[in-house]
Copies of this chain bind each other. A is one copy, B any other.
Amino acid sequence: MVKLADLDWKTYESRVANGEAVILLPIGAIEQHGPHMSMNPDVLIPEAISCSVAEQLVNALVAHPISYGYKSQVKSGGGNFFPGTTCIDGKTLIDMIRDVVVAYARHGNRKFVLVNGHYENSMFIVEGIDLALERLRHDGIDANVMLLSYWDYVNQDTIEQVFPDGFTGWDVEHGGVLETSLMLHLHPELVNMDKVIDQAPATFPPYDIFPSDRGWVPSHGTLSSARKATAESGKLLMDVCVKGISSSIQMQFSD
């Protein structure tokens, strides 16, 4: 049992009592991921990875995820105009991260790992952490926070296995082979490979335009084809992320 909200508070208290527990906090988004997949991979994948990581560690717990994320951008998530893409303001995300980190730290926790599953969240999480640490510092509390996006743990070997025909870059991996494979491995009931649209990777000019130009984005919402996604690739990706993240945490937090 690694999901902390599934514990009763006395059990939780005993697990975190010495301040040595590692709290993993998954952060995602509700966002379209093409016609072949549900809209919650950015929540489900980091939560699943966090749980597997927690099981590798001596004393780690997974916090309830922060599920609504920053506004989807055209080049990384298709854009904030698709039905189902449900995003929040930057300031709201900053405050949510700040408050949640502060609250877990007030329970005595000092070691945090924020596991991001939605590219657009990153800088707002950074700011939320910075404000949380300031607020805690003013209460005399020093906490340490690791921040990572799980895909940064996919190494060259895995890329070559998962993309045998060549990798076109993380930029266009929205709803593509990476996320679809992981979802096939973790939640096959939420993927329908028959609905995958096969397409060349989207290409974009070197700038962004606001309001978004919907003509820039394939109308079905993914930025590359998920046709070659498999549950096996999903397992490979899962394994490399879990292993890498566990190792980083052990190194950083001596867990």
**A-side interface residues toward B, CB under 8 Å?**
4-10, 12-13, 16, 30, 32-40, 43, 63-68, 70-71, 73, 82-92, 94-96, 98-100, 103-104, 107-108, 120, 122-124, 126-127, 129-131, 133-134, 137-139, 144-148, 152-153, 190, 192, 195, 205-211, 220-221, 244-245, 248, 251-252
B96 lies within 8 A of A129 (CB): no
Given contacts A8-B37, A91-B91, 6 further A-B contacts (CB under 8 A): A6-B40, A68-B100, A90-B91, A90-B94, A122-B123, A207-B252
> 5 closest Cβ contacts across the A-B interface?
A9-B32, A90-B127, A148-B207, A88-B99, A9-B84
Q: Which residues of B lie under 8 Å from residue A145 when comparing CB positions? A: 209-210
A68 lies within 8 A of B96 (CB): yes
A250 to B: closest C-beta gap in Å: 12
Closest B residue by C-beta to A65: B67
Q: How far is the CA of A87 from the CA of B68 in the complex (A)?
A: 16
Q: How far is the CA of A72 from the CA of B85 in the complex (A)?
A: 30
Q: How far is the CA of A220 from the CA of B10 in the complex (A)?
A: 8
A205 to B: closest C-beta gap in Å: 6
- Which of B39, B68, B83, B190 has a CB less than 8 Å from the CB of A66? B68
Known: A40-B5, A92-B99, A123-B120. A84 touches B64 (CB 8 A): no
How many chain copies? Answer: 6
A102 to B: closest C-beta gap in Å: 9
- Which of B4, B139, B147 has a CB less than 8 Å from the CB of A138? B139
Q: How far is the CA of A244 from the CA of B147 in the complex (A)?
A: 35
A216 to B: closest C-beta gap in Å: 11
Q: Which residues of B lie under 8 Å from residue A127 when comparing CB positions? A: 70-71, 89-91
A205 lies within 8 A of B99 (CB): no
Known: A95-B91, A146-B209. A9 touches B85 (CB 8 A): yes
A237 to B: closest C-beta gap in Å: 14
Q: How far is the CA of A231 from the CA of B28 in the complex (A)?
A: 34
A180 to B: closest C-beta gap in Å: 12
